[in-house]
Structure 1
């Protein structure tokens, strides 16, 4: 069974496990860019765009063959974006293409990624993480298949807006989330159970693994699961980390901050005494400025918590939610929450929510 067949089987299995209304599509990735504008990736094949807080959606899926699936979507702003298209060809070789847009998906330019040597489709797990610093300079981390003892990926860089890609001189070798402060300074959070943090300060010529001690106040929680790092503005960075401990120990969510492009880190806000988690399990959260917004679940109850360095903690019990796999907030008032059945939006900091899941525009390929 080739890569596409396997991914399709996983998709069908997920649809059976989490049935949704016939008029809506499951959300696999999303990002609220401004209070009114954002994108949603549905399943493996569709990309949608809204400019009115989800009241209306436009499909902006890049042109692709029925065999290709969509991964690694990234928008720099409300106009410029990129997406990775993946499929296995007749010889079951992995084929990757990068689609780029400068007009919010109204039109796309598509360019192939040319890997040296033959790469089998089954060598890759299908995932990709994309980050662009500006309209020219970008990075892609392509996940490769490996045993459970490893989480490896290939790093590629572009200096022409995604038209061409090359391997840098250095690579951490780990799969994970990327972000860059500048052409020289960047971070990668990933590895096995997302337990490793890497940094480069010479434009990807070399990468160094960082060893960060857990805050003593959350002991015995000490095993980190790193979330998606945020680089900028300037040398300011933030990193949400879920810390787990030994059996039956309470977990904690800590927002780490850096003011030197990721060279050093310190705790900014902490949410402790959470239900037990295992390493590799992240508490859903969103970084908004210097604030951390988290969705936690305890005794079947979901709570939205807002933590800011200079203000009191705010908690809202979300009675209508069973789980929230992902959060995205443009500011402390406007945010999205994905569930296994769709997408919801708030404009009052989580007090009230509206279903905004994009409607289907056609069958899966």
Structure 2
């Protein structure tokens, strides 16, 4: 901030006039000279300091004078590429600010809804939020480390996992994965060493159906996709048999391949939506089913329309969100489909992420914000976006 030099000189001149000096000149050899000179110098310094302080204080009090302070940044950037083979570190205690950061849209990366009331949101800038009231309010929760390419999976309001993957090699030939677990809503995170997941293929679509059973999808253009599964909370993993081609479709190395989404659990039945090639040059949407805890997967149904993405509401009711609509619905596990009017089709999701907590309550990302349905997907309303106050 610039100050008026003339005003400062005027105040210093006034300050100098108040210093009292002897009427008679003092001889150099007088013993009083050093004492009086030192006292005068000290007084001058004190008066000048007061004058400058008053001047600066007056400037701060004037209208338009703005005091600025550094703005803390909580953006998480990678310090190193995560490695699946790193040694698990001791429990890390994470901290976060009580005030949520201001987030610019679009930012939403992923949502996880373990119940109708509880929903978690991971935003692209690297923030984790939790809502306990269906999105009416949000609380910033700690992350375990600076992470990129991250995904979350929570099974309740306290327990969840976050994964981060390294940069993929050419054509997804290999990619490492790191995994953390929390049992106290992010206050503490345990770094896991996920054994059994090969570096081959790209990793993603982290999901957990309960505190023990979780899944990670591995896929690459040159290979058939596999779904890794864990039964001990993420410590050890094993690969399923590769997904077989759906009826009438043959995938070839280097050509269109099957791309599984996130696994959903409905009791003893596991379902996973799969995008892939259809007849000829078209694309298609499929559903695969597992009844052996994810050890093997079999083709279950083909969606009625390829131009959309699947949302699994229950084990037999699925929505095919088509943008623009109309959407499609099945209530018999894909045997029959019919048109389904949903106002969610009015806004394209970026990226598409629709999660149903139960048969009625669901959440979706729409252009970086979050929408909620309370009637199984027929009507959607915007809710408060994390980080907007």
For the 8 Å contact 2:305–2:320, the answer to whether it is kept is no
Aligned partner of 2:180 in structure 1 is: 156
2:106 equivalent to 1:74 = no
2:332 alignment partner, one of 297, 309, 314: 309
2:272 alignment partner, one of 239, 242, 249: 239
Aligned partner of 2:30 in structure 1 is: none
SS at match of 1:160: coil
1:258 alignment partner, one of 290, 296, 299: 290
* Structure 1 vs Structure 2 CA RMSD: 4.7
2:313 equivalent to 1:288 = yes
Aligned partner of 1:225 in structure 2 is: 259
Measure how far apart 1:77 and its partner are: 2.1
Measure how far apart 1:207 and its partner are: 1.9
Alpha-carbon deviations, 1:309-357, whole Å to 9, x = none?
368523328799588543455777887776659888888877xx76744
SS at match of 2:191: coil
Q: Which runs of no fewer than 5 residues in structure 2 stay unpaired?
A: 1-73, 78-96
With over 3 angstroms needed to count, the CA separation of the structure-2 counterparts of 1:342 and 1:293, relative to structure 1, is same
Measure how far apart 1:230 and its partner are: 0.8
Query: Aligned partners of 1:216, 1:268: CA distance in 2, in Å?
Result: 9
For the 8 Å contact 1:72–1:130, the answer to whether it is kept is yes
Query: Aligned partners of 1:318, 1:101: CA distance in 2, in Å?
Result: 28
Query: Aligned partners of 2:185, 2:342: CA distance in 1, in Å?
Result: 44
For the 8 Å contact 1:75–1:82, the answer to whether it is kept is yes
Q: Which has the larger radius of gyration?
A: 2
2:147 equivalent to 1:111 = no
- The number of residues matched between the two structures is 278
Counting helix residues as a fraction of each chain, which structure ranks higher? 2
Query: Aligned partners of 1:340, 1:86: CA distance in 2, in Å?
Result: 13
Counting strand residues as a fraction of each chain, which structure ranks higher? 1
Query: Aligned partners of 1:336, 1:134: CA distance in 2, in Å?
Result: 15
2:167 alignment partner, one of 132, 145, 148: 145
Aligned partner of 2:56 in structure 1 is: none
Measure how far apart 1:187 and its partner are: 0.9
Query: Aligned partners of 1:106, 1:346: CA distance in 2, in Å?
Result: 17
Measure how far apart 1:80 and its partner are: 3.6
SS at match of 1:218: coil
Aligned partner of 1:199 in structure 2 is: 229
For the 8 Å contact 2:309–2:321, the answer to whether it is kept is yes
Output the TM-score relative to the length of structure 2. Answer: 0.54
SS at match of 1:149: helix
Output the TM-score relative to the length of structure 1. Answer: 0.57
Query: Aligned partners of 1:99, 1:361: CA distance in 2, in Å?
Result: 7
